[in-house]
Chain A
């Protein structure tokens, strides 16, 4: 305090805050610590098991991406103070919206993909509109749509095909112009090159064991960047924080809270559909049970990433790190040879720790006032 030049009316009761306390104010902090911890753990106990070979890394990134694509959209919605429990069912529903017209009715695949996104737009809008107009918690409204969508998926698929799995989509994807942006790998040449230099493990046919970066990972990165850009750099981002932090105050100063929330519900439905497209193309089939529990996995990733359940605070980067922790732990437990049944125990404990940590951080951010 000695030689500090005081500006006019500065308060002698204000003390300098150390940098680490300022960093505590960032929502990602807990997730960064968690990521370091998780990687440290598995590097120690599974470092030589192949988990951190190129193939292993690509695998756990791919698993993380499955959660991360959803988490990016869910983070924005949760910062705006709402939940979407219907995204898991939306994945299953979008899958059959793609598969039935393609396989049963002979539609070109690209039109089925566009149809799926159109359907997602409508369902997201309905979720948002119902939540806002009824004033019910979104938890309840989307719990209803979770059941309705899953039921519709089963009923419609059985009515159209007499089965619960629609397969054979791979054939239609081959010559489709839209499918490649949702499936396959990027940077294949680079991986091939690195392989021929002896940096990567090769198959017997001369192609690297890890052929490239999966499209799912690319989408995960893109959505995380988009979410971060929106939150940090756009007016809409400020409206998201305001809508979740205090919707009444936000409305009083003219923030279109209703529009913001409905758009974010459409965003989560879109993310679910994107994941559905990726999975359908990957597997070549649409399973009516696909996407179960994904809504909770996404919420776990977002919460571990530092977003508050009460809204108004959080980050997309944090959600991506949460998803990375999720994927790494899931694969890491497999590689360490621990019974994979323990995975959910671990994740559950992780959520609890994250929430306790976040609550502590929030108190620090607002100095308990």
Chain B
């Protein structure tokens, strides 16, 4: 591997995960430090989801170890991982659209005041905190009582990230946070990620968009067909190299050539349209 990972806060050491005869991950090592953005790249089926689920406590590894601050740990459930400082932000599964921002922000960890039968939700505190924490991440909301459904995709990510930070996450796992977003919203989310890093969090950023990953990542780990192709510091690897190493890299080059060939044949003989339609499966 390219690096010795002694300073990693969260670490996977030679971890494998099998589902019956399927090898989902084979002897993968991976780690993230506080204040670092570690980008996990790979095509569909490379094992990214399995790796996230191991880190967020959904699955337990078949072999190998998960370590936090050097000590081997078991992440028994998502809640258990959360309690150990690992927060996962799933793209669509982090917030409830019909609930208010404040209700979402404190979902599962509501703040109460009073005691006994008079124990009740502290709405002043919850509304204020939700607004302040989101504002710290760079997004101003008008009213924390408005439904999350009124927020844009980027703002919802902000809510999920601000929530994780507020409740003491040390490591943030972001699963394809930009894939469903437009250009502007994606840049909002990338800025959020940079802010989380600036606040000392370790960020694991899963994507297959190299253009989103390359500008902000400090390290890259590439997965291909259940195995790690290695971890690289940004200085060691160019954007083109990252693209090439992803399974999609070669295919995109091939596709480009193919498209050029089609375009060329079209200019050569304008009656090629029916053939093109057939090729496109229309």
Chain B residues whose CB sits within 8 angstroms of the CB of A239 once the complex forms: 108
A-side interface residues, number (CB < 8 Å): 35
Inter-chain contact B142/A245, CB cutoff 8 Å: no
CA gap between A312 and B140 in the complex, in Å? 25
Report which of A8, A10, A242, A248 forms a contact with B99, defined as CB distance below 8 A: A242
Contact of A203 with B by CB under 8 A: no
Report which of A10, A232, A245 forms a contact with B97, defined as CB distance below 8 A: A245
CA gap between A318 and B106 in the complex, in Å? 25
* Closest chain B residue to A9, Cβ basis: B140
Inter-chain contact B106/A249, CB cutoff 8 Å: no
Chain A residues whose CB sits within 8 angstroms of the CB of B228 once the complex forms: none
Chain A residues whose CB sits within 8 angstroms of the CB of B140 once the complex forms: 7-11
CA gap between A365 and B147 in the complex, in Å? 7
Chain A residues whose CB sits within 8 angstroms of the CB of B163 once the complex forms: 253
CA gap between A14 and B139 in the complex, in Å? 13
* Closest chain B residue to A313, Cβ basis: B98
Contact of B199 with A by CB under 8 A: no
CB distance from B105 to the nearest CB of A (A): 10
Contact of A367 with B by CB under 8 A: yes
Inter-chain contact A255/B107, CB cutoff 8 Å: yes
CB distance from B85 to the nearest CB of A (A): 14
CB distance from B176 to the nearest CB of A (A): 15
Chain A residues whose CB sits within 8 angstroms of the CB of B112 once the complex forms: 234-235
Give a binary string over A236-253; 1 marks a CB under 8 Å from any B CB, 0 the rest.
Answer: 011101100110111111
CB distance from B83 to the nearest CB of A (A): 9
Give a binary string over B210-226; 1 marks a CB under 8 Å from any A CB, 0 the rest.
Answer: 00000000000000000
CB distance from B116 to the nearest CB of A (A): 12
Give a binary string over A24-40; 1 marks a CB under 8 Å from any B CB, 0 the rest.
Answer: 01000000000000000
* Closest chain B residue to A251, Cβ basis: B78
Chain B residues whose CB sits within 8 angstroms of the CB of A242 once the complex forms: 96, 99, 103, 107-108
Give a binary string over B129-166; 1 marks a CB under 8 Å from any A CB, 0 the rest.
Answer: 00000000011101000110110000000000001000
Inter-chain contact B103/A241, CB cutoff 8 Å: yes
Contact (A235, B97) CB under 8 Å given A9-B139, A250-B108: no
* Closest chain B residue to A363, Cβ basis: B149
Inter-chain contact A312/B109, CB cutoff 8 Å: no
Contact of A206 with B by CB under 8 A: no
Inter-chain contact B107/A238, CB cutoff 8 Å: yes
| Interface residue ranges of A253-269 to B (CB < 8 Å) | 253-255
CB distance from B96 to the nearest CB of A (A): 4
Contact of B46 with A by CB under 8 A: no
Inter-chain contact B99/A241, CB cutoff 8 Å: yes
| Interface residue ranges of A355-369 to B (CB < 8 Å) | 362, 365-367, 369
Inter-chain contact B79/A235, CB cutoff 8 Å: no
Report which of A25, A254, A362 forms a contact with B108, defined as CB distance below 8 A: A254
CA gap between A48 and B155 in the complex, in Å? 57
CA gap between A232 and B100 in the complex, in Å? 12
Chain B residues whose CB sits within 8 angstroms of the CB of A249 once the complex forms: 90, 93-96, 107
| Interface residue ranges of A308-349 to B (CB < 8 Å) | 308, 312-313
Inter-chain contact A234/B120, CB cutoff 8 Å: yes
Inter-chain contact B149/A253, CB cutoff 8 Å: no
Inter-chain contact B78/A365, CB cutoff 8 Å: no
Chain B residues whose CB sits within 8 angstroms of the CB of A233 once the complex forms: 120-121
* Closest chain A residue to B148, Cβ basis: A366
CA gap between A312 and B139 in the complex, in Å? 26
Contact of B86 with A by CB under 8 A: no
Known: A249-B96, A366-B149. 10 other contacts (CB 8 A): A9-B140, A25-B147, A235-B110, A241-B98, A246-B96, A249-B93, A250-B96, A252-B94, A365-B98, A369-B149
CB pairs A–B below 8 angstroms (5 shown): A249-B90, A250-B107, A250-B108, A252-B88, A254-B79
Closest 5 CB pairs of A and B: A366-B149, A245-B96, A253-B108, A254-B108, A233-B120
